Amino acid sequence: MRSELEQDIISTAESFQNNFSDRGNLDFSIESLQVVEDILDELCDYELEEDHVNSVSSMVGCYIMEIARRQHGGKYYWSEERNQPVFVTGEPDFSISILAFDKVRGRILNGAEDHIPFYFEGYMQAVIKGKENGYCATIV
């Protein structure tokens, strides 16, 4: 049975998928992160209000975490400290966490230095390392 947090994240990710389906194949694949990157790259050209940055960060962050969950499994938790969900893969054998909202916010505000496909590749490499030797990390 899914938690309320997991249901909310899946619903938000699917809303992003539906709302931006005209932009490319948002099929929850790793390859679809390039479509996400292209959308965020366009947003960098605009001066967005804080509420809009927060909204986009949560929608796209949910989509990224859902890709992670569908690829590697895991569980969503709420981080009171960061006021956002964190996705954790590998428990109890290892623990790889991602805070995707922060990364999306960084991509919008900082530009290409916070490249989303590169970020996700770091997560996948950490998962491989975790499976090999019990590695624990938070990918931010």
Given pLDDT bands bounded at 50, 70 and 90, which one contains residue 46? Answer: confident
- The residue-averaged pLDDT of 63-71 equals 98
Mean per-residue pLDDT over the chain, rounded? 96
Read off the amino acid at residue 40.
Answer: L
Q: What is the DSSP letter of 27?
A: S
Given pLDDT bands bounded at 50, 70 and 90, which one contains residue 44? Answer: confident
Peptide bond into 92 cis (omega under 30): yes
Q: Are strands 84-89 and 136-139 parallel, antiparallel or unpaired?
A: unpaired
Given pLDDT bands bounded at 50, 70 and 90, which one contains residue 2? Answer: confident
Q: Is the pLDDT of residue 111 over 80?
A: yes
